[in-house]
Amino acid sequence: MSSSSTATESTETAATETTGAADVIGTARERIDALDGQILDLVRERMTVSAGIQEARIASGGRRVQLSREMEILDRYRQRLGKPGTTLAMTLLELCRGRV
């Protein structure tokens, strides 16, 4: 086998591996996009449910925000996701406040 034949095979193998990686990446990105769509839908649903809770709480003479409940939520996210979970939970709480 000549060195040019070996170089051609090496180039073809690299091209095949690159195409395979591109397929994996493309499929994974499509899945991420689908998951992001589901997450966004769930966040919108959470905002709607939260607004209903706030309306009921205010109608019964309570406050719009219940800090002890928010602390439970922050703790749950922190336990499951670590410090970034707290940031995520804070963002969700901020999105869901004041929609009444």
Q: For residue 69, how many C-alpha atoms fall within 13 Å in the half-sphere facing its CB?
A: 10
Mean pLDDT in order along the chain per 10 residues (100 residues): 63 75 96 98 97 94 92 98 98 82
Handedness of CA 32, 36, 38, 42 (dihedral sign): positive
pTM for this prediction: 0.75
pLDDT of res. 12: 67
pLDDT of residue 77: 98
The answer to whether 57 and 64 have CB atoms below 8 angstroms apart is yes
Residue-level pLDDT at 27: 96
Residue 98: the pLDDT is 65
CA distance 53 to 45: 13
